[in-house]
Structure 1
Amino acid sequence: MEKSIVFFDIDGTLLNEEKKIPASTKRAVQLLQEKGIHTVIATGRVPNMFYWIQKELNIDSYVSMNGQYVVFEGKEIYSNPIDPNMLQSLSTMTAKKGHALAFCSHLDYKVSQSNHPYIEEGFDSLMMPYPEVDEKYYTHSPIYQGHLYCNPQDAQVYFDQFPDFSFVKWDSNAYDILPNGASKAVGILKMLEILDIEKENSFAFGDGLNDLEMLKMVGTGVAMGNAVPEAKAAADVITTSSSQDGILNGLIQVGLLEKDLASA
């Protein structure tokens, strides 16, 4: 039997709107693992933001920070740090304009300002506390992803000034900052190469704008019922929402789980 692998986004996919893992999702992931199917987290988050999810689901492989840092069974297999000089230029510009940044390493994440309303808004949406402040974090830690916090009207100037970066919106006033060409799909391809798994035997579940490349690249992309329209258009299959057994139903739809077994 050929090896298969399934990649799961976190927010709006593994987690419901209450930022909890539904019981049906835990059951579905366990069933995949019992069948010998690789289960992998694929997220924009920093690893220490989802350790608790790894523990609950018994998953020790992940594509983090939108493909910038990839780990298989606890071992780093790919990393792509951002040039600190580029981060210095970005930091100088945001400081002048009153905007804010977050810097994401493989160990932690820090922000450039305290009490910034857009940072608070973004982390509130994740149901997470305000991060520690270290405006020079990029000078003493490898940074794989940044966040830009500004309103959409002000964001265009950064798009124009930094053409080597891509900016992917993830909250009303928050953008992931990545090197051009970086995406979850890049990290997934690295893992498929290491594991010698054919692309047609790869599956991915997602709901957001940072999932588009992933959903298009894998053999079968599954969009959650709560996904943005762009993700649904990019996917091969649309399942129910993350709060309505979307992972379990999607795995049954694509034939990885049997309905009778899943409901047992």
Structure 2
Amino acid sequence: MSYKIVFFDIDGTLVNEEKEIPQDTILAIKELKERGVEPVIATGRAPYFIKPLAESLGIQSFVCLNGGYVVYKGQPLYKRQIAKESLETLVKLAGEHDHGLVFEGEHAFYSDREDHPFVTESVLSLKVDLPGYNPDFWRDEDIFQVFLHCESQDEPLYESLKSDFTLIRWHPFAMDVLPLGGSKAEGIAALLKELGYTAENAVAFGDGLNDKEMLDFVGFGVAMGNSHPELLPYADYVTTHVDERGIRNGLIEAGLLPE
């Protein structure tokens, strides 16, 4: 199979627990580009969270917000907003339980709580700035993803939302809230269509629960050695840990780099 494009998750895939890019990963991405294969970031993060990393790797294209916002070579290509009526339902229910929300728009993100400890701990774990405070941000701007801050034992409180949303836990205190059926695979499909590629032309690397659909969709899915155990059945290959040449070894297995 002739793979033409490779999608890389960020946290736990391109960067380690310290949010640093291993030097070997930097070199592997450089070699991949020299061989004419395009690297693309595919992340749950918003576009304003990833620009320094993308610039350091020389990557101009990304599938952000778990497939909700796609940019190709610096130009927005695809957007999937959350319906306002669905957001209103979410805001009402989360408010009843004092669970903080963070609304992610195209250019900024805001919380509906000031100094909420779960918001602070989860967002700072991403090594980014904390959101501003604007409980009405969702009313005025297009929202592509929401962080819902609650612990796992509180998830049953949100069962009624599953007719409108997909919920994916990414932190002990936080879940991603996406439009129903939303995933990185959706954004990747939109980009591949624009480029005239099929899913079989693509490789993807990931490590988390929000990478299931992506690895299952592409021609060759690679799970990192540090992946969540529930991701492994969706992968064609399990590479080594992010800090143990995981990206390079996966690219070698895909036939995209020499041994």
Same fold (TM over 0.5): yes
What's the secondary structure of 2:133's corresponding residue?
coil
Shift of 1:231: 1.3
Post-superposition CA distance 1:190-248 (Å, at most 9, x none): 11111111322200000000000000110000000000111112100011111111111
Instruction: Report the Cα distance in structure 2 between the residues aligned to 1:202 and 1:215, rounded to whole angstroms.
Output: 10
What's the secondary structure of 1:221's corresponding residue?
strand
Q: 1:245 corresponds to which residue? A: 245
Q: 1:126 corresponds to which residue? A: 126
Q: 1:262 corresponds to which residue? A: none
Instruction: Report the Cα distance in structure 1 between the residues aligned to 2:96 and 2:60, rounded to whole angstroms.
Output: 41
Shift of 1:58: 0.6
Q: 2:208 corresponds to which residue? A: 208
Post-superposition CA distance 1:112-169 (Å, at most 9, x none): 1111111112123212332211111111111011110011222212122452111100
Q: 1:108 corresponds to which residue? A: 108
Please give the TM-score of this superposition, normalised by the length of structure 2.
0.96
Instruction: Report the Cα distance in structure 1 between the residues aligned to 2:89 and 2:253, rounded to whole angstroms.
Output: 47
Q: 1:80 corresponds to which residue? A: 80
Do the aligned partners of 1:206 and 1:215 also contact (CA within 8 Å) in 2?
yes
Shift of 1:92: 2.1
What's the secondary structure of 1:177's corresponding residue?
strand
Q: 2:99 corresponds to which residue? A: 99
Matches of residues 177-256 of structure 1 in structure 2 within 5 Å? 177-256=177-256
Q: 2:48 corresponds to which residue? A: 48
Post-superposition CA distance 1:171-194 (Å, at most 9, x none): 012110011111000111111111
Shift of 1:2: 5.3
Do the aligned partners of 2:112 and 2:133 also contact (CA within 8 Å) in 1?
yes
Instruction: Report the Cα distance in structure 2 between the residues aligned to 1:118 and 1:43, rounded to whole angstroms.
Output: 21
Please give the TM-score of this superposition, normalised by the length of structure 1.
0.95
Instruction: Report the Cα distance in structure 1 between the residues aligned to 2:238 and 2:87, rounded to whole angstroms.
Output: 38
Do the aligned partners of 1:3 and 1:197 also contact (CA within 8 Å) in 2?
no
Do the aligned partners of 1:159 and 1:167 also contact (CA within 8 Å) in 2?
no
What's the secondary structure of 2:66's corresponding residue?
coil
- Structure 1: segments with no counterpart, 5+ residues: 260-264
Moved more, 161-170 or 249-258: 161-170
- Structure 2: segments with no counterpart, 5+ residues: none
Question: RMSD value over aligned CA atoms?
Answer: 1.4
Do the aligned partners of 2:162 and 2:180 also contact (CA within 8 Å) in 1?
no
Instruction: Report the Cα distance in structure 2 between the residues aligned to 1:133 and 1:258, rounded to whole angstroms.
Output: 49
Shift of 1:256: 0.4
Q: 2:59 corresponds to which residue? A: 59
| Alignment of 1:140 onto 2:140 | yes
Do the aligned partners of 2:90 and 2:161 also contact (CA within 8 Å) in 1?
no
Do the aligned partners of 2:150 and 2:173 also contact (CA within 8 Å) in 1?
yes
Do the aligned partners of 1:159 and 1:166 also contact (CA within 8 Å) in 2?
no
Aligned partner letter, 1:239 = T
Q: Which runs of 4+ in 1 moved over 3 A?
A: none
Aligned partner letter, 2:71 = V
Shift of 1:85: 2.1
Instruction: Report the Cα distance in structure 1 between the residues aligned to 2:201 and 2:256, rounded to whole angstroms.
Output: 10
Do the aligned partners of 2:65 and 2:145 also contact (CA within 8 Å) in 1?
yes
Do the aligned partners of 2:222 and 2:250 also contact (CA within 8 Å) in 1?
yes
Q: 1:164 corresponds to which residue? A: 164
